[in-house]
Structure 1
Amino acid sequence: MNRVIIIASFTLISFAKTAFGQDIPQSQVPSVIINNFQQTFPKANDVEWELDGEHYKVDFETGLLGTDHDVWYDKTGKLTRHKEEISKSDLPQKVLKKINSEFGSYRVDDVKKITEEDNKVTYTLELKKLIEEWKVVFDSEGNLLSKLAE
């Protein structure tokens, strides 16, 4: 239970921190960060930079359908977090199985894959049913880490 509370708290803090980021022009982003970004995401478009505390956050899209990405870099140019929009069908089978068994009557929306610098992956999504809406977080093994009413 403590683990769920810690992860839920981290998720809320992460969302709150992104709400207070300041937009900055690319000219104010250190070149090491821009170079690393361009090497990792050469086909990025609609690129927007923010200073998010000690980190540089870049919002961008890729692909024909405009898949959304948010990536955070530390001031040395190290990628520390990557949040990308994915489809429900791209979720791991263990996550899909858990959703189908525990939330089968809910509609799945706003699916995101979050990769942290230690390669730990979590999946956030919204589950909706009539007047109920939940923001949930799963690990790649299908374990429910957080469930917050929206």
Structure 2
Amino acid sequence: MNSPKYLLLLPAALLLACNKDNDVKPNQVPEAVRSSLAARFPSTTDLEWKKVGSDYEADFEVNTVDHDALFTAAGELVKYKLDIPTTELPEAVRTAISQQYSGLTIDDAERLHISGSEAVLYQVELDRPGNDPDHHLVFAADGQQPAQPAYWD
């Protein structure tokens, strides 16, 4: 039996299984960030924090709806998104998907808000048949796909 080989592979497998995001405890999140979240989303539940570069990402629920919000270390809201049913996608977005991505099904839909912009964007994950990778797309309400921002995973 090759027990020494397996013992060497175990730590490597555990490292690969770890999440790439840096989970942080609430007390490690700056007060300005926590206060900004509480002011913007006062009824959050199931709150978890991650450090993303120099920013902080909150993953939480409001009335059982999944939300994510990204804040600078100074507490400024950069962007946020929330899950929506596919029926809440604008008709133009659903039409664009059916015309440009026929044969694919919408797996996830989210409404995306970028700070400093009045425009509401929509993110969708489209499932491909078989083992092909999924499509991750961003749409404007008119069904157009803007060059920016990129899909926020």
TM-score by length of 1: 0.73
Deviations 1:27-69 (A, max 9, x none): 1112121111112111110000111111111100121xx2211
Does 2:135 correspond to 1:134? yes
The aligned amino acid for 2:41 is: F
Deviations 1:108-136 (A, max 9, x none): 11112221122243322122353354322
Question: Which residue in 2 is equivalent to 1:70?
Answer: 68
Relative contact order, higher structure (CA 8 A, sep 6+): 1
Task: Let me know the Cα RMSD of the aligned residues.
Answer: 2.2
Q: Distance in 1 between matches of 2:99 and 2:55?
A: 38
Q: Distance in 2 between matches of 1:110 and 1:29?
A: 29
Question: Which residue in 2 is equivalent to 1:80?
Answer: 78
**Bigger shift: 115-124 or 70-79?**
115-124
In terms of Rg, which structure is larger?
Answer: 2
Among the aligned pairs, what percent are the same residue? 27
Deviations 1:87-110 (A, max 9, x none): 111112221222233335432111
Q: Which runs of 5+ in 1 are unaligned?
A: 1-18
Q: Distance in 2 between matches of 1:61 and 1:145?
A: 28
Q: Which runs of 5+ in 2 are unaligned?
A: 1-18, 148-153
Question: Which residue in 2 is equivalent to 1:56?
Answer: 56
Q: Distance in 2 between matches of 1:38 and 1:116?
A: 18
Q: Distance in 1 between matches of 2:94 and 2:110?
A: 14
| Counterpart contact for 1:21–1:53, Cα < 8 Å | no
